[in-house]
Amino acid sequence: METNQEKDERLWRIAKARAGFRNHLMTYLIINGALWIIWLLTGAHGDVPWPLWPMFGWGLGLAFQYYGAFHKDPYGDTIREYEKLQQEKERQGL
């Protein structure tokens, strides 16, 4: 079983990851907004707007960071699996 201190440390890691994602998202939006403004003001309009390329690459990294911050908790997954196995063991009378 997980102690309160272990739970607090795990929650702290999750909170840090989520706060880091939010900060990264704000930076992404501000910088990419500035890139679009530069593109519009310079009149360098081609077939494909060049700000799409940094948005795509950076956005991909941001998507992975989002997944890690909000949907991935390997330690928590391990605990849930362990508890499921314990319950199964108790039902079988082992």
pLDDT tens, residue by residue, 65-78: 999 988 877 666 77
Least Cα distance to 67 among 29, 12, 18, 27 occurs for 18
pLDDT tens digits for range 29-83: 999 999 999 999 988 777 889 999 999 999 999 999 999 988 877 666 777 777 8
Give the span between the Cα atoms of 91 and 84, in whole angstroms: 11
Domain count, the chain: 1
Least Cα distance to 13 among 64, 75, 82 occurs for 75
Q: Where in the sequence is the domain holding 18, given as residue range(s)?
A: 4-92
Q: State the pLDDT confidence band at 11, using cuts at 50, 70 and 90.
A: confident
Residues 27, 54 contacting (CB under 8 angstroms): no
**What pTM does this model have?**
0.72
